[in-house]
Amino acid sequence: MKNLWAPWRMTYILGEDEHGKSQKCIFCVEAEKTGPDKSRLILYLGRLSLVMMNRYPYNNGHLLAAPRRHVPDLSSLTAEEMTDLMLTVRSTVEIISKTANPDGFNVGLNLGRVAGAGIEAHLHFHIVPRWNGDTNFMTVFDDVRVIPEHLEASFDRLVPYFQTLEKRHEND
């Protein structure tokens, strides 16, 4: 397997700006903020959870769902946060099913750096749509993924579907 060097990603992973200064957690949002934020790729910002696009996706439509509160693991969540987060994950899968028609999903979380957590201090779920044949010749021959849609175009296409999420949670 060849290595594709992407050193600019460490800035994102470590939460630093371009000058090496530490930034706040990518998932943390001020309490008074509501609604989507295109600059941060936040599609949904509810009372207890949020959904954002992965800036470095494994596949087109790769989204992240996280609690709004900065917590590192499942045991740190309240019962209300856990319920809201799982409803958000479920709704996100439904939205991606409707908008992208995938054949399946990988949905999961990595707890701890050794388990693959790039940002281990803030619990988050990965929601990755999968299609039959999405491992094409690019991946097979050169271990490279092709993302066919620009992130901003994906954001614009998806954000209207997330605008009714809070109301859907109230009805569950």
- Closest-CA residue to 77 (of 119, 122, 107, 113): 122
Q: What does the radius of gyration of the chain's CA atoms come to, in whole angstroms?
A: 16
Bridge pairing between strands 49-53 and 42-45: antiparallel
**What DSSP designation does 22 have?**
B
Is 124 among the residues known to form the active site? yes
What is the spatial distance between Cα 166 and Cα 36, in angstroms, rounded to a whole number? Answer: 12
Write phi, then psi, for 150 (nearest 5 degrees). -65, 145
Measure the CA dihedral 137/141/144/150, to 10°: -30
Catalytic residue among 124, 126, 150, 169: 124
Residues noted as catalytic: 124
